[in-house]
Amino acid sequence: MPTPFSVDEYVRWSDVDYAGIIFYGAYVRFFEIAETELFRHAGIPYGEVFDRYDIWLPRAHLECDFMYPAKLDDELRVAAYFTRFGRSSIRIHFDVVHRGAGVLAATGHEILVCTNRADLRPVSIPDDLRTQLDPYRMSTEDARAALGVEGPA
């Protein structure tokens, strides 16, 4: 069974609101950490992707749903995996598991568009990049089964 890449991270003081609950924008930081480390784990750190392939991967879409309130010092497992590779787009999905409660705290996804660096026009995803990232492609159902959690599709 495929396994999503994951990192464990604590909710920090800068992530919470006055009530001590993680605020919605903080999840973007968690997504970025998981995405960056997934690329590194796949053998192609982000610092090399852009120069090696002469591309950018700007975000065209970001979506997030919140299910369980994480609080200051709670430990979260942030899983990242790819659910779709198009000709020039990549859909990366994130599942944030509250380690103490064993439930999904949030889910989200981003759509990255592979563009040339000169004028940001879409270009095909380089075959080598797709090959390196493909082991992390799976369905949300398979990823959540591997994480031991249930959640919305």
Higher-pLDDT residue of 150 and 14 is 14
| Alpha-carbon distance values, 125 to 43, 93, 115, 144 (Å) | 17, 18, 8, 27
Q: What is the pLDDT of residue 153?
A: 59
In this model, does residue 151 exceed pLDDT 80? Answer: no
In this model, does residue 1 exceed pLDDT 90? Answer: no
Q: What is the pLDDT of residue 79?
A: 98
Per-residue pLDDT tens over the stretch 118-147: 999 999 999 999 999 999 999 999 999 999
96 pLDDT tier (thresholds 50, 70, 90): very high
Q: What is the pLDDT of residue 21?
A: 94
Range 5-147 classified under CATH 3.30.390.30: no
Q: What is the pLDDT of residue 128?
A: 96
Per-residue pLDDT tens over the stretch 44-92: 998 899 999 999 999 999 999 999 999 999 999 999 999 999 999 999 9
Task: List all residues 6 or more positions away from 146 whose beta carbon is below 8 Å from its beta carbon.
Answer: 1, 2, 3, 4
Q: Residue 152's CB: how many other CB atoms inside 10 A?
A: 9
The whole-angstrom separation of Cα 22 and Cα 19 is 9
Q: pTM for this one?
A: 0.94
Task: List all residues 6 or more positions away from 54 whose beta carbon is below 8 Å from its beta carbon.
Answer: 116, 117
Strands 89-98 and 103-113 turn out to be: antiparallel
Q: Where are the domains of the chain?
A: 5-147
Q: What is the pLDDT of residue 129?
A: 97
